[in-house]
């Protein structure tokens, strides 16, 4: 990692991290609150330095299908959007998962439904982790809560995507995308040569050579016996991801009587609410899921034996709370507090909710 400490927006950090990671292609369509990603890339003009392709597509549908084409060649390719645009991409994401193609997707969420608002939200949780497109597939989902993690998760996302041949998503929101913080960017890495990609990705469509059969990237299989086997293979892969890749952060949980569960910007708000609660003598901690899929059910289940209750704080109508309840499995109280439509809750109201719904309920 670079020693230089910079001040920038989360969206800008993603763009710079992508160039430095050696990403081969970015394909995107402008939408608030994430347009800084493509603007930063266009300004940096990496095609002159690393050779990275940056293309403004005609739509999110074209963007995600460009990602499909590039990923089929074994390239490091990515796109970014915000909620309405991500909805348009869902068909393509299903195809990417069905064709087992690695790529990085970024959703800087805004409030919905519909055109909604340009203000921050976390209302695409279900869409992302429960499958917004058709068919039984899963998206590896990373939830950064700082500008530093926006930069770091570019590399982590690509590593996991290529390890499992599956799309990976950075699920963030307008707060993390737009806020400025200190960040140390990763060091520059050279882009892989075609020869290196052919070795690392023997499945990539880079032209059939005499030493192998043609590579065919498709999600089509008309024979249901074979398609079921394909699905079993996908599910086995997903179980491996669930076994190996769960990531979370425990904050002040050791002595906690009450635990917040929150991801992304909501976790930053809860961090402050913990301080306020502890000033009043309440022992409060937090579990912050970093991977939303695979979800950290086990750690929640372990604390469910020890604490008096969980409060899930989300900027939506209560989506992740369903997974927290699965983790707790009825052992103790689980409640939700959140705001919707682009409203970011304050730490004071979160603490009030903790008292009303858990501590004094």
* Range in contact with another protein (rule: CB under 8 A) among 38-46, 58-66, 120-128, 329-337: 58-66
Separation in Å, CA 355 to CA 121, 244, 272, 334: 24, 36, 15, 13
Instruction: Give backbone dihedrals phi and psi of 316, rounded to 5 degrees, phi first.
Output: -165, -170
CB atoms within 10 A of CB 119: 18
Q: Which residue, 182 or 233, is less far from another protein as judged by CB?
A: 233
Q: Please say whether the beta carbons of 187 and 20 come within 8 A.
A: yes
CB of 55 to another protein, least distance (A): 6
Q: Which residue, 209 or 236, is less far from another protein as judged by CB?
A: 209
CB of 156 to another protein, least distance (A): 23
CB atoms within 10 A of CB 58: 8
Query: Binding another protein by CB under 8 A: which of 10, 28, 70, 186?
Result: 70
CB of 101 to another protein, least distance (A): 10
# residues near another protein by CB under 8 A:
39
The secondary structure of 223-258 as a DSSP string is -HHHHHHHHHHHHHHHHHHHHH---EEEES-TT-SE
CB atoms within 10 A of CB 253: 19
Query: Binding another protein by CB under 8 A: which of 12, 24, 36, 149?
Result: 24
312: nearest Cα among 286, 342, 280: 286
CB of 229 to another protein, least distance (A): 18
- Decide: is 58 part of the binding site for another protein (CB under 8 A): yes
Q: Please say whether the beta carbons of 327 and 296 come within 8 A.
A: yes
- Decide: is 220 part of the binding site for another protein (CB under 8 A): yes
CB-based burial label for 189 (10 Å; 0-12, 13-18, 19+): middle
Separation in Å, CA 271 to CA 131, 171, 278, 320, 358: 29, 19, 11, 18, 17
- Decide: is 215 part of the binding site for another protein (CB under 8 A): yes
Query: Binding another protein by CB under 8 A: which of 30, 69, 318, 341?
Result: 69
Measure the N-to-C terminal CA separation of the chain; round to a whole number of Å.
47
Any idea what the Cα angle at residue 36 is, between residues 32 and 42, rounded to 5°?
130
- Decide: is 28 part of the binding site for another protein (CB under 8 A): no
Query: Binding another protein by CB under 8 A: which of 3, 193, 210, 243?
Result: 210
- Decide: is 318 part of the binding site for another protein (CB under 8 A): no
- Decide: is 193 part of the binding site for another protein (CB under 8 A): no
Q: Which residue, 77 or 155, is less far from another protein as judged by CB?
A: 77
* Range in contact with another protein (rule: CB under 8 A) among 51-59, 109-117, 173-181, 315-323: 51-59
Contacts of 28 (CB under 8 A, 6+ apart): 37, 38, 55, 56, 57, 63, 79, 80, 81
Q: Please say whether the beta carbons of 113 and 122 come within 8 A.
A: no
Query: Binding another protein by CB under 8 A: which of 2, 32, 219, 231?
Result: 219
* DSSP assigned state of 319: S
CB of 107 to another protein, least distance (A): 19
Q: Which residue, 21 or 310, is less far from another protein as judged by CB?
A: 21
Query: Binding another protein by CB under 8 A: which of 6, 217, 340, 343?
Result: 217
CB of 138 to another protein, least distance (A): 19
- Decide: is 102 part of the binding site for another protein (CB under 8 A): no
Name the residues that contact another protein, by CB under 8 A.
Answer: 24-25, 27, 53, 55, 57-59, 61-63, 65-70, 72-73, 75, 77, 91-92, 95, 99, 194, 205-210, 214-220
């Amino acid at each position: 990692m670079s020693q230089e400490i910079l001040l920038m927006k989360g969206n800008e950090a993603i763009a710079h991290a992508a160039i430095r990671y050696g990403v081969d292609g970015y394909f995107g369509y402008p939408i608030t609150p994430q347009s800084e990603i493509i603007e930063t890339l266009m300004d940096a003009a990496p095609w002159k330095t690393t050779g990275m392709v940056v293309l403004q597509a005609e739509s999110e549908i074209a963007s995600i299908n460009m990602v499909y084409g590039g990923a089929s060649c074994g390239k490091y390719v990515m796109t970014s959007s915000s909620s309405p645009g991500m909805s348009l991409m869902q068909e393509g994401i299903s195809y990417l998962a069905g064709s087992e193609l690695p790529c990085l997707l970024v959703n800087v969420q805004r409030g919905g439904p519909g055109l909604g608002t340009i203000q921050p939200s976390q209302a695409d949780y279900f869409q992302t982790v429960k499958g917004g497109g058709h068919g039984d597939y899963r998206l590896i989902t990373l939830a950064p809560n700082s500008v530093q993690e926006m930069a770091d998760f570019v590399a982590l996302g690509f590593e996991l995507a290529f390890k499992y041949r599956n799309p990976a998503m950075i699920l963030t929101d307008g707060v993390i995308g737009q806020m400025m913080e200190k960040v140390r960017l990763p060091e520059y890495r050279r882009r892989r040569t075609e020869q290196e990609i052919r070795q690392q990705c023997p499945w990539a469509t880079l032209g059939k050579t005499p030493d192998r059969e043609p590579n065919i990237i498709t999600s089509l299989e008309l024979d249901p016996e074979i398609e079921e086997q394909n699905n079993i293979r996908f599910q086995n892969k997903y179980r491996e991801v669930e076994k190996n890749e769960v990531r979370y952060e425990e904050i002040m949980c050791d002595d906690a009587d009450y635990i917040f569960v929150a991801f992304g910007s909501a976790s930053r708000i809860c961090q402050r609410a913990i301080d306020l609660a502890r000033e009043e003598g309440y022992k409060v901690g937090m579990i912050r899921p970093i991977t939303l899929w695979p979800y950290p059910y086990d750690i929640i289940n372990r604390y469910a034996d020890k604490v008096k209750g969980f409060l899930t704080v989300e900027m939506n109508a209560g989506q992740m709370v369903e997974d927290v309840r699965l983790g707790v499995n009825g052992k103790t109280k689980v409640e939700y507090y959140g705001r919707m439509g682009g409203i970011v809750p304050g730490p004071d109201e979160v603490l009030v909710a903790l008292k009303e719904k858990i501590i004094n309920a």
